[in-house]
Every structure is written in C-alpha cells, then in structure tokens.
A = this chain, B = another copy of it.
Amino acid sequence: MSINQNDLRVIKTKRNLREAFIRLLLQKRYDAISIQDIVTEAQTARVTFYRHYKDKEQLLVDCVNVNFKELVERMSQITTEDVFNHRYQALLLFYKHIQEKETLYKILFSSWGTRVVIEQFRKLFAEMSKENIAEQFHVDKWRVPIPMDIVAYHFASAQIGTAIWWLENNQPYPPEYMAKVSLWLTLAGGLRLFGEDEFYIPPPSIPEKPE
C-alpha cells in the first residue's frame, strides 16, 4: 500500500524534488512556483510528486525538517550542567543557524505560505522548553501552579517571535546579543520594566479543571 521510504528510488526522487524546490525558491516566490515547475526542474513526472507529497506545503515541511535535523543535532551536543547556560547556548545555535542559512530562511520567512517554517520552529522550541521546564518544576520549591504546556507554548512563541523580528529586520544585531536578549526577556520578563516590588504579582492559583 504505502511507499517504502528506504527504497533507493524513493530516496533519490525525494531528494531530487527537495533540491529542485530549493533551487526554484532562490529564483522566485513560493506562491509563484507550481508543482509543474518543481517536477520540470527535478526532471520527473507530475504524478511522481503527488505520490510522495500531498501538496507543495508538505514538500516545504520536508525541506525544513531535513534542515532542522542539523540544528537539533548541534543542540543535542551542548554539554553544560547549568540550565541557564544550556538555554543560552541553544538559543545561540538557533540564531547562528538562521544566520548561516540566511538566504534560504529569508525567502522562507518572507512569503506568507511558508509560515510552515514557523510552525516547525515552534514545535522544536516547545519540545525543548518543556524538557527544561519539567526539570525545574521537579526541584522547584515554589511549585508554581501553571500547567507546563502553557509555559512551553508561551516561551516558545516568544522566542520565535523575537527571531522573526530579527529576520524581518535584516539581522541588525549579532546572534550573541539576540540570544542574550531573548533569554533575558524570557526569564526576567518585563518585571524589570515595571520595577521589581512595585508590581509584584502573586502566582495565580490553579482553578478546577471542568470535566
């Protein structure tokens, strides 16, 4: 029934399509690229495309994923005990990765249809944040009653937002600065903007979850 992803022909075909797509993305906007364009560039039949991908978006997701394995791989090699430092290193790699693939990511982020990329980033960070925060929750004497999912989503989205700003404004600051700012905003929050004691907010208590 379904296609054997280990078949040499499949691997070749998919790589072919990905590479053709990337080549086209360097030439024209995402929306302006038709499936026909992609298969022509990849020198294959249109039907073949549909055998592997539901639509153009799925091909993009595949491209982004392949690229991401690299980033995830790098992040997994960070060797620090310090959670704070770990988070900083991860963010730094994140920004450096975007910088390294500047041309590609600029294109990816610039056209609307490609918010796919954002979604992938979000998932990655949400996963990462979840782990970090989970640890903290265990050793945490405060036991802040906020569901971890919310925290993960909140932090991940915040970091992605900052990164998008950076990209859309042509990277006015170096990755080191961005990682530091992003981390600082996430951890210290706006608290300092308001003065520390003046606006102290007690952690909200968790309400009954209705069935």
Contact = CB atoms under 8 A, between A and B. Distances in A.
A205 to B, nearest CB: 9
A127 to B, nearest CB: 14
B57 A112 contact: yes
| Prevailing SS type, chain A contact patch | helix
| Chain A interface residue bracket vs B | 35 or more
B182 A154 contact: yes
A115 interface: yes
Given A180-B204, A186-B189, 11 more contacts: A115-B119, A133-B190, A141-B195, A142-B192, A144-B193, A149-B165, A154-B162, A155-B185, A157-B160, A157-B162, A187-B191
Interface of A: 57, 83-84, 112, 115-116, 118-119, 122, 133, 136-137, 140-142, 144, 146, 149-151, 153-162, 164-166, 169, 172-174, 177, 180-195, 199, 201, 203-204, 206-207, 209-210
